[in-house]
Structure 1
Amino acid sequence: MAYSKEEIIAKAREVADMIAETEEVEFFKRAEAQINENQKVREKIASMKSLQKQAVNFQAYGKERALNLIESKIQKIEEEIDAVPIVQEFKQSQSDVNALLQMVSTAIANQVTNNIIVSTGGDLLRGETGSQVKNSTPGNC
């Protein structure tokens, strides 16, 4: 049975909905909400955005010394933000969600490859399709 692209996209959306209901995504959403509610972090982010705008201007006008000063201030604020426990948890949850997405992507790619190998009469252990197996058999010229 052949599937249409539309049917495959519909299944992909189902999988996406399933992923959105995982512990990893739920934790990510909670951590993000806590960061947005954290006044200290919000103020630091606002300061950093303001400094980043200044940095763009200094860079545009070739003001190297001022740019270096601003960049060091930005780095200090980034370190302060990163030191906040909820930010660390948020970054970890981001990493966990990305790892889950990568696992799903890898599982799909591997299954497609395996299905191609099997459907062409190939060798799963060697990772060769049927045409590769047939053409690699000695004496088959």
Structure 2
Amino acid sequence: MFKKDEILRHATMLGQDIQALDSIKRYRQIEAQIHLHPEIAKQMDALKQNQKHSVNLQNYNKPIAYERSEKTISHIQNEINAFPIVMQFRQSQEEANDTLHLIIETLATRLQGADCFSGSIQQKEE
């Protein structure tokens, strides 16, 4: 039987190991580059403003203006998606997600078959 603090210690170690994986490092590096890219930041600000505006138009029942706003949003999204760094980000995000799903599936399979969790987890009393 495992104690709560033992499980937390192992979970922390697993988190550190996951952060050290190449696919996760690559994702985080590209994400940081995107946040520092001035043109992407400008486009993201415009996108957020237009999305807020679009919600207001929808709430005030302005269908024609809402349609125009949605087209503008789509255009801005396409411009953002055209940046090579954004394409790299999406690819690295997919790879990182695949890695995390594999880890979760492996853990779930192993934990379901393990006898160590058939009882309750003891909490260390202090």
What TM-score bracket applies, with the shorter chain setting the length? 0.7 to 0.9
Take 2:70 and 2:84, find their aligned partners in 1: how far apart are those partners? 24
Take 2:5 and 2:64, find their aligned partners in 1: how far apart are those partners? 55
Q: Quick check: 1:72 aligned with 2:71?
A: yes
Match of 1:10 in 2: 9
SS of 1:29 mapped into structure 2: helix
Within a 5 Å distance, the mapping from 1:1-141 to structure 2 comes to: 2-116=1-115
Take 2:5 and 2:28, find their aligned partners in 1: how far apart are those partners? 29
Alpha-carbon distance, 1:86 to partner: 0.4
Alpha-carbon distance, 1:60 to partner: 1.3
Higher relative contact order, chain-length normalized (CA < 8 Å, sep 6+) = 2
Runs ≥4 residues deviating over 2 A: 113-116
Flag structure 1 segments of 5+ consecutive residues without an equivalent: 120-141
TM-score (norm 2): 0.84
Match of 1:123 in 2: none
The structure whose Rg is larger is: 1
Flag structure 2 segments of 5+ consecutive residues without an equivalent: 119-126
Take 2:111 and 2:101, find their aligned partners in 1: how far apart are those partners? 15
CA RMSD of aligned residues (A): 1.5
**Count of residue pairs the alignment pairs up:** 116
